[in-house]
Chains A and B, each alone.
Chain A
Amino acid sequence: MRVKKMLAAVAAAGVVATLAACGGSSGGAGGDDELTVWMLTLEGSQKTAMDTLVSDFEAAHEGVTVKVETRSTDAHKDALRQVAGTDSGPDVYWYWEGPGLGGELVEAGLSKDLTAEYEKYGWGDRFGEATLSNITRYGGYHGVPFTQQAEAIYYNKELFAKAGVTAEPTTYAELEAAAAKIKAAGITPIEFGGTVNWHVMRLLDSLLETNCGSETFDQLVTAKTSWDTDCVGRSFDQLKTWGGEYLNEGFQGVSNDESSQLFYTGEAAMAYEGTWFDSQVVDNGMDPANVGIFKFPTGTDRLYGFGEGFYINAATKKADQAAEFLDFITSTEEQKKVVGVWSPISVNTAVTPATDNPLHELWPPLYDAAKGFYLNNDQNLTLAQTTEYWRIMNSVLTGETAPADAGAQMQKFIESES
């Protein structure tokens, strides 16, 4: 009898637990004089910098307190999704600006249109045109830029010299030729971690920009043109070549953190990373004088990267205070104190780039030469499209999908969604 009861209990509990979903939590706004800000987890210099911005603001605005609540990436996304349409959200939230992420919250009605605030504070003059492009793309003004991250290829100068690569590649053909020379010298040309799909995705995104050009790239990611086209097939074909010839062996089974070790230890000659990588390079013992940075040679004028900004919750009753806070933390005076913490270049065009890390100085010429940015596709595409984009990318790399069929598969998925 005891066994029967046990079996029944086990089966019932187990089967039910198999299906039970998880709940989540929601935040809440503070009192009249408290401004609530939600953002990603802050550590080290970023936490110190945010504390500085907040304490400076509180000192300048007597009686007002700012409460910063931080969460990990996924928890932050979940929390914001849950409070959309309620009055329990924050007054201000930090988010990525791309349509697949920030745009989703704009569409869900979480973001307040800040057209009046841009006029009042003159923010249109404070930020550069490229930085503002992701703010104005949804109609009106959604969000205030906080960082403009760019991604490019970091390379080990000694390994380049050892392989006989004497100049930074300026065309895709030169890049592939450099990779071939590096491989011939017995060095891994470039490292990627395949378990986090967005890492290898950087290579594919840049190949699409290279082969399709800026205009078609933008049309592809907004479903305005078919993926079943030659330039997409060519990009996947080149991706397969890179995967088979030039990426670190076994890249599909390691994360980006693991693969980065190959760059730090001088086993891989290149890494496709972003502005945040400057400090990681130094922290992991590399001599910054031995590291160079060049833009992926797409042949277009655009730089690869994405923006992050602060948004005012459409449901907040403290929009004026929130705007005052955002004006304060993006002001020239405050940005001078924190430039280099999140990115070597401030979104405030009046602030000179950071110089505390020698690698920071390599970025301004790349920013200056760029005419806009092409976004990482996990910010361009819808979430479901991104998942499928990654699946196709990986199945091309593992040989399960022919590069020529990849575009058609992506197009089929996009059409099945509509």
Chain B
Amino acid sequence: MSVLERPPAPPAAPRRRGDRRFLRALPYLVPAAGLYVAFLVYPMLDAVRLSFFSWNGFRTSEPEFVGLRNYVRMLTNDPVFYTALSNSVIWVVLSLLVPMLLGLLLALALNRRMIGRNLFRSVFYIPAVFASITVAAMWRWIYNPTVGSLNQFLEAVGLASWQQQWLGDPKIALYSVFVASVWQGVGFSLVLFLAGLQQVPAELVDAARVDGANRWQVFKAVTIPALRPTTAVVIILTIINSLKVFDLIVGMTGGGPAQSTQVLALWSYQQSFSNHDFGQGGAIATVLLVLSLCLVVPYLVRTLKAEEH
């Protein structure tokens, strides 16, 4: 065998280097990974496991394996599940439309040079730093049917007939809570889109203008493609935050009236921790997990593929 016939060896070297780097990094990664597994991965898997058991949460009672019974009951005998599922879907769709669009429009407006730009940016972002329970308390007062500022304002401007029981009417309560969510959440999208707009190459915009593109054409052909990574992040965060919406609803309606503002995350919590039915709660949490994965993963994969290309 001649020297020339030997198989090439060089590719192994970078891999070994990579392995060594990984081994060196491992001690630093282990504590965080351990905490992640203990406090996130394990409870998640345990919730899925519990969905196949009947258990009231007492250590004195052994969980009883019931197979798919919790799922069957959830799908056929739970009077709240479909309301919660439908509300969660509505919440995701509205969140993808309203605060995202508002955030983008505000970001475009506040990305240009103008007097008081930083003040406006702060004003729009401030609600995002409030705790949800604070936002809930504030909006509960705004919506109060007798002393709330919204109904009083409507009366003052001669629109008394528009007065509503904003949180007491099951037909509109969910949307009333959603308005508070938009008020709180739009600043977050705004900041992300503003950061994205800073990354739009000025030379591309200038080149497009030199080529005779108008504002809309520049926006469509340059700004939107440049914002694609930011938009992906905003969409994924919006979907995830929408699916786990919890505290704002707890603070404003507790899921009522008559469970009309119930969502999957809250219903799962209430089944487990209020009704002491951890199997049923686990089944709902598992549905929520599957729904999250179904919504997030395909979009993530598609975006990553687009990035590769």
Contact = CB atoms under 8 A, between A and B. Distances in A.
Residue of A18, A20, A387, A388 contacting most chain B CB atoms (<10 Å): A18
B169 A252 contact: yes
B117 interface: no
A10 B233 contact: yes
A387 B169 contact: no
B289 A108 contact: no
A85 B60 contact: yes
Contacts of A74: 273
A253 B240 contact: no
Contact of A384 (B146, B258, B275): B275
B63 interface: no
Interface in B46-70: 46-48, 56-61
B21 to A, nearest CB: 16
Contacts of A15: 240, 289, 292-293, 296
A413 B73 CA distance: 11
A364 B191 CA distance: 63
A383 interface: yes
Interface string A1-33: 001101110110111111111110000000000
A266 B40 CA distance: 51
A195 B256 contact: yes
Nearest to A13: B40
Nearest to A85: B60
Contacts of B233: 3, 6-7, 10
Nearest to A108: B58
B296 A78 contact: no
Interface in A393-418: 394-395, 397-398, 400-401, 409, 413, 416
Contacts of A333: none
Given A250-B145, A391-B79, A398-B169, A20 B273 contact: no
Contacts of B80: 391
Contacts of A262: 146
A10 B230 CA distance: 12
B166 A253 contact: yes
Nearest to B295: A15
Contact of B145 (A81, A84, A196, A254): A254
Given A11-B296, A391-B259, A253 B168 contact: yes
Nearest to B307: A4
A401 B241 CA distance: 32
Nearest to A401: B258
B296 A397 contact: no
A197 interface: yes
A11 B303 CA distance: 12
A19 B256 CA distance: 23
Interface string B131-169: 000000000100111100000000000000000011111
Contacts, number: 179
B136 to A, nearest CB: 11
A3 B226 CA distance: 12
Given A14-B236, A20-B39, A108-B61, A81 B276 contact: yes
B304 A18 contact: no
A20 B168 contact: no
Q: How large is the interface on A (under 10, 10 to 19, 20 to 34, 35 or more residues)?
A: 35 or more
B59 to A, nearest CB: 4
Interface residues of chain B: helix, strand, loop or mixed (majority): helix
Contacts of A14: 236-237, 240-241, 292, 296
Select the residue from A252, A394, A413 with max chain B CB neighbours within 10 A: A252
A86 interface: yes
Contact of B256 (A10, A23, A86, A197): A197
B274 A7 contact: no
Contacts of B256: 194-195, 197, 252, 390, 394
B144 A3 contact: no
Interface in B224-250: 229, 232-233, 236-237, 240-241, 243-244
B240 A7 contact: no
B207 interface: no
B272 interface: yes
Contacts of B146: 248-250, 254, 262
13 contacts: A15-B240, A16-B40, A16-B44, A19-B292, A23-B39, A194-B257, A196-B254, A252-B257, A383-B275, A384-B271, A384-B277, A394-B256, A394-B257
Interface of B: 39-41, 43-44, 46-48, 56-61, 73, 77, 79-80, 140, 143-146, 165-170, 173, 229, 232-233, 236-237, 240-241, 243-244, 253-254, 256-260, 265, 270-277, 285-286, 288-289, 292-293, 296-297, 300, 303-304, 307
Query: Which 3 residue pairs of A and B lie closest in terms of their CB atoms, listed nearest first?
Result: A250-B145, A252-B168, A253-B168
Given A15-B292, A391-B80, 6 more contacts: A19-B48, A21-B47, A108-B58, A195-B256, A253-B173, A395-B170
